[in-house]
Structure 1
Amino acid sequence: MEYTMLFSPVTINKLTLKNRIVMSSMVTQYAASNGEVTDQMIHYYAERARGGVGLIMIEATYVERQGDSYKFGLGADTDEMLPGLTRLTNAIHACGGKVGLQLQHGGRTANPLTNGGPIKFVSYIPGVTPYEGARVLTKEDIADLVKRYAEAALRARKAGFDLVELHGAHGYLLNQFLSPFTNLREDEYGGSTENRLRFPLEVLKACREAVGKDFPLTVRLSVEEFNGTGLTLESSLPIAQAFVDNGIDALNISVGACETNHYTIPPAVLPEGLNADRAAAVRRAVEARVPVAVAGRIHNATLAESILAEGKADIIVMGRPLIADPYLPVKSQADRLTDIAPCLSCNEGCVGIPFGNVTCAVNPRAGQEARFPHIKTDTPKHIVVIGAGPAGIQAALTAKEKGHHVTLIEREKTLGGLLHVACRPPHKEAFEKLRLYMEHAVQQSGMEVLLGTEADVSLIRSLRPDMTVVATGSEPVVPGFCKNSGAVTAQEVLLGRKTGQKVLILGGGLVGCETAEMLAEQGREVTILELRDTLAPDMEKRTRIFMMARLKELGVQALLNTEVLEVSGLHVRVRSPLHAERSLDEFDSLVMAFGYRSRNLLQQQLAEAGIPFTAAGDCVRPSKVITAVRQGFQAAWPL
């Protein structure tokens, strides 16, 4: 497919971009503790520039140290930041990219633990804004902040940035002034839309004076906040018009605020391109006088092209997909769609940052580009990988990329392991895309693949590997009290096993809740029994917000703080602090969702036989895809 519009140039003020893909600003936590640019940050952004994106928008960058919202936030508040910022722009330009800097002040979202405080907010809101270590901005403070924004914008131009964006979205300071939820001021900076616009427009005018009329200035706006009294699309249209009337060069449309950032970084339950119609409304309101950009689960070139072709926006903003695959633009333009690593919208690495800063569930190199370069080994070896789930496939692909001869062994007749299960719950279709991507990558690699083959010590010895990677995965836990009870596993249900009308799910973790949602959508009456006091505490928090709401809407019941004592047929004996012991006899199907246990028998056999190996994935400890992929990569990288 040809993406005629997506890969056509677009002009913002005097700046022409080679295509209409903008990498969204996403805070990486790669900055130094004092806010300076680091080598890690430079390598990360340079890789995305090599991937062909039209413009890279560098993450929220504070204009005042007390406005820093993060532990390792990027700063543009002093001239001491200029050398690092200049190195960053030079690196991106050297890779053929254009780069913008997003200017931000956290306001009530600032982090006093790292920026020294105090927290500065627009107005005090009981129960929302803090009382201690905080204060409301005075008019003198406001005037000072206008100056700081302008000085930071000038630094950005001096450092070689091609564009500056004002962050007026997602609950940061400019958004706090614009929103009637956070702006309860009674002076000239609060009340009417005109007054709430006063500070943001003062910032715009000061920045324009600092950088000149020919330098591109854009603004990111949350046009809907989903918090009751905050901004709605209707109330945001005059705000967008005011920015255009006052000389903004482009509008970047998003949604969400502090308490509703699960819409800002939308999980897979929300539709792809969820903000396209909102951007279209803004574009109509401003009569397309400036380019309008839109973000929000636009993960592929086909959807991006359709949004442009329908006139809903002029520019497509992608964030997480370019973390997953920096080369999405060049691969899309070359019609190599099957070579693109798919973003799962899982938020496990980019937002959950389990390893300290931004990474990715499907791209273990994200943020580690210098540490793990694409290089070939000088001493090719024979690597045997046992198990073709995410960990095993990643290990095999990594070893093959480095130039080793690889044999991948899988006891089933298909590749993918538990990805076959992970893709079955509602809204998890992206996990099937990941399986197909990995399957295609294995086929393209030319490695030797043995399907339907049970690996044992004898087979491994006959292959004479230089190193063996064991990734034999995990299997559902079936407690002794459930054996011979007629209960089925959640995995069996997800793969198509039929249940009765009234279903009791034993276990309310991630898998139990996903299974409950699937069955409830099929019209079953579902109850979840959980030993802990909450459901799915292991679920990514944004995804969990939507999950809990959906379970409630579907009528799923939960028995929390409840222990299973005995299962006999459909008779379940339980105990809880509220009800002591009692019997549950009203269900006609029992589903076990007690988690997974490692398959590690082969590891024991190899150790006894004296065959060296490295283990990765669920056979070490059952976990999520992000951990499996990371461990598979790390198992193969040193080889």
Structure 2
Amino acid sequence: MPATALFEAATLGPLTLRNRFIKAATFEGMSKGAQVSNDLIDFHRRHATGGVAMTTVAYCAVAPEGRTERNQIWMRPEALPGLRRLTNAVHDEGAAVSAQIGHAGPVADSRSNGLPALAPSAAFSAQGLSRIRAASRDDIARITQAHADAALLAVEAGFDAVEIHLGHNYFASSFLSPKLNKRSDEYGGRLAGRAKVALGAARAVRDAVGDRIAILAKLNMDDGVPGGFWLDESLQVAQWLEADGSVDALELTAGSSLLNPMYLFRGDAPLQEFAAAMRNPVVRLGVKLVGKRFIRSYPYQEAYLLDSARQFRSALKLPLVLLGGVSQLETAEQGMAEGFQFMAMARALLREPDLINRMRRERSTRSLCVHCNKCMPTIFTGTRCVLVDTSAAPA
């Protein structure tokens, strides 16, 4: 057994986790009818059995128009029975469970949801082939309150934590972006105005749940888009979050689901698989013809977000979760040695849900993930690694 603190218990706000590994949020595509399914429960049970300290349910929209597509959980009383079954199943395996809550904003599929997508400023969605409406002040107030209500529902459902989605150009993140936010009111202009939505959502959640559960926020370090949100401004937002005391930890991320999704993932860009997964024939043709402009390829390397994340570590006392290319044990050890309290893993755990247990038993264990990213298009049919048969995995 390797002698490393990665496998020792650690505190996250009011929560004690059995080790330092968190299953990062990856939309599961297993919520038909916007409800918890047995497949979704089995998905998270596998990760809990496999050794992670906490698994993250993604994604739990705070409002019906905030879903990236209609078959996605949104936090409402009707979802409670299924959510309770899920949290109980994870707890039975000795792990904690977090609900990623947020509003997809301009990333929402208005055609699928039957409701308008919202953004700081009006725009056209090339993904949804529809108009995106500028959010009103009433929309902002409603969505802010919806974050608080969703967090309270998470407490009632038995979740140990919530992760507030402030990244990837979802609603709060789109307000942070000077490229997407062209408002002239109090929610636009200088960073203090553009940050009001993100800071307000985090404060609303803290006011609602207090210290009953841990509160994390997933914050973009940069959008990976010219003219978008960048490190200097993100550092300031992180410092404001820390000063406000609204979150117990930050998970540092990057990229724009709206404008540059592969900036986060790195590795191969599976264009053919993405095109085949598109239900809309017009979108499918568009991906085939011009997909390379949107689904770009970035070379993979271990800890590829670490250089940017170091700047946050040196500027903050707040616990930080390192994300991005953490697939080998020595990478996680490096992150911890540099002061990151928790390690978030996603694709490597899709390939091998029991990877953490095997690393704990034998430090020479190597992740088998090849970063082909062919797992990404499977979100439409049930997120999985296409290189293994997960149907045979233990429930």
TM-score relative to the length of structure 2: 0.87
Q: Aligned partners of 1:66 and 1:127: how far apart in 2?
A: 15
- Alignment pair present for 1:206 and 2:204: yes
Q: Aligned partners of 1:251 and 1:132: how far apart in 2?
A: 33
Shift in Å at residue 214 of structure 1? 4.3
SS of 1:206's partner is: helix
Q: Aligned partners of 1:293 and 1:355: how far apart in 2?
A: 27
Alpha-carbon displacement from aligned partner over 1:534-560 (angstroms, at most 9, x marks no partner): xxxxxxxxxxxxxxxxxxxxxxxxxxx
* Cα distance change of structure 1 residues 374 and 188 upon mapping to structure 2, 3 Å threshold: closer
Q: Aligned partners of 1:134 and 1:239: how far apart in 2?
A: 26
Shift in Å at residue 72 of structure 1? 2.6
> Does structure 2 retain, via aligned residues, the 8 Å contact 1:146–1:202?
yes
Match of 1:182, as an amino acid? L
Match of 2:377, as an amino acid? G
User: Which sections of structure 2, spanning at least 5 residues, go unmatched?
Assistant: 269-298
User: Equivalent residue for 1:297?
Assistant: 325
- Alignment pair present for 1:343 and 2:366: no
Alpha-carbon displacement from aligned partner over 1:167-211 (angstroms, at most 9, x marks no partner): 011121111111112111111111111111111111112111211
The 5-angstrom pairing of residues 588-603 of structure 1 reads none
The 5-angstrom pairing of residues 173-192 of structure 1 reads 173-192=171-190
SS of 2:376's partner is: coil
- Alignment pair present for 1:14 and 2:14: yes
* Cα distance change of structure 1 residues 5 and 117 upon mapping to structure 2, 3 Å threshold: same
Q: Aligned partners of 1:115 and 1:261: how far apart in 2?
A: 21
Q: Aligned partners of 1:195 and 1:36: how far apart in 2?
A: 35
Q: Aligned partners of 1:126 and 1:152: how far apart in 2?
A: 28
Find runs of 4+ consecutive structure 1 residues off by over 2 angstroms: 124-134, 354-357, 372-375
Q: Aligned partners of 1:53 and 1:276: how far apart in 2?
A: 21
The 5-angstrom pairing of residues 242-257 of structure 1 reads 242-247=240-245, 248-257=247-256
Shift in Å at residue 374 of structure 1? 5.1
Match of 1:183, as an amino acid? N
User: Equivalent residue for 1:4?
Assistant: 4
User: Equivalent residue for 2:382?
Assistant: 357
Q: Aligned partners of 1:355 and 1:126: how far apart in 2?
A: 23
Q: Aligned partners of 1:129 and 1:145: how far apart in 2?
A: 23
> Does structure 2 retain, via aligned residues, the 8 Å contact 1:3–1:302?
no
> Does structure 2 retain, via aligned residues, the 8 Å contact 1:3–1:333?
no
Match of 1:272, as an amino acid? E
> Does structure 2 retain, via aligned residues, the 8 Å contact 1:323–1:363?
no
* Cα distance change of structure 1 residues 221 and 133 upon mapping to structure 2, 3 Å threshold: same
User: Equivalent residue for 1:550?
Assistant: none
Q: Aligned partners of 2:379 and 2:154: how far apart in 1?
A: 31
Shift in Å at residue 283 of structure 1? 1.6
User: Which sections of structure 1, spanning at least 5 residues, go unmatched?
Assistant: 376-639
The number of equivalent residue pairs is: 363
Shift in Å at residue 127 of structure 1? 8.3
> Does structure 1 retain, via aligned residues, the 8 Å contact 2:99–2:161?
yes
TM-score relative to the length of structure 1: 0.55
* Cα distance change of structure 1 residues 7 and 145 upon mapping to structure 2, 3 Å threshold: same
* Cα distance change of structure 1 residues 150 and 127 upon mapping to structure 2, 3 Å threshold: closer
User: Equivalent residue for 1:136?
Assistant: 134
Match of 2:140, as an amino acid? I
Shift in Å at residue 113 of structure 1? 2.6
Give the RMSD, CA atoms, in angstroms. Answer: 2.1
> Does structure 2 retain, via aligned residues, the 8 Å contact 1:176–1:182?
yes
User: Equivalent residue for 2:275?
Assistant: none
Q: Aligned partners of 2:97 and 2:367: how far apart in 1?
A: 24
* Cα distance change of structure 1 residues 344 and 83 upon mapping to structure 2, 3 Å threshold: same
* 2:347 counterpart (301, 320, 327): 320
> Does structure 2 retain, via aligned residues, the 8 Å contact 1:103–1:167?
yes
Shift in Å at residue 75 of structure 1? 1.9
Shift in Å at residue 353 of structure 1? 1.6
Shift in Å at residue 296 of structure 1? 0.8
The 5-angstrom pairing of residues 423-438 of structure 1 reads none
Q: Aligned partners of 2:367 and 2:310: how far apart in 1?
A: 29
Shift in Å at residue 116 of structure 1? 1.0
Q: Aligned partners of 2:139 and 2:45: how far apart in 1?
A: 37
* Cα distance change of structure 1 residues 310 and 39 upon mapping to structure 2, 3 Å threshold: same
Alpha-carbon displacement from aligned partner over 1:429-470 (angstroms, at most 9, x marks no partner): xxxxxxxxxxxxxxxxxxxxxxxxxxxxxxxxxxxxxxxxxx
The 5-angstrom pairing of residues 45-84 of structure 1 reads 45-76=44-75, 78-84=76-82
User: Equivalent residue for 1:565?
Assistant: none
Q: Aligned partners of 1:203 and 1:237: how far apart in 2?
A: 18
The 5-angstrom pairing of residues 136-155 of structure 1 reads 136-155=134-153
Shift in Å at residue 352 of structure 1? 2.1
The 5-angstrom pairing of residues 90-169 of structure 1 reads 90-125=88-123, 132-169=130-167
> Does structure 2 retain, via aligned residues, the 8 Å contact 1:295–1:316?
yes
User: Equivalent residue for 1:273?
Assistant: 303
Q: Aligned partners of 1:168 and 1:81: how far apart in 2?
A: 23
SS of 1:74's partner is: coil
* Cα distance change of structure 1 residues 73 and 362 upon mapping to structure 2, 3 Å threshold: same
Match of 1:262, as an amino acid? M
Q: Aligned partners of 2:328 and 2:393: how far apart in 1?
A: 26
User: Equivalent residue for 1:517?
Assistant: none
> Does structure 2 retain, via aligned residues, the 8 Å contact 1:29–1:70?
no
Shift in Å at residue 146 of structure 1? 1.0
Q: Aligned partners of 1:345 and 1:227: how far apart in 2?
A: 22
User: Equivalent residue for 1:412?
Assistant: none
- Alignment pair present for 1:285 and 2:315: yes
Q: Which has the higher contact order (CA 8 A, sep 6+)?
A: 2
> Does structure 2 retain, via aligned residues, the 8 Å contact 1:3–1:301?
no
- Alignment pair present for 1:43 and 2:68: no
Q: Aligned partners of 1:3 and 1:356: how far apart in 2?
A: 40
SS of 1:59's partner is: strand
Shift in Å at residue 141 of structure 1? 1.0
Q: Aligned partners of 1:218 and 1:87: how far apart in 2?
A: 23
The 5-angstrom pairing of residues 425-574 of structure 1 reads none
Largest Rg, 1 or 2: 1
Match of 2:13, as an amino acid? N
* Cα distance change of structure 1 residues 227 and 62 upon mapping to structure 2, 3 Å threshold: same
Shift in Å at residue 26 of structure 1? 0.1
Match of 2:388, as an amino acid? N
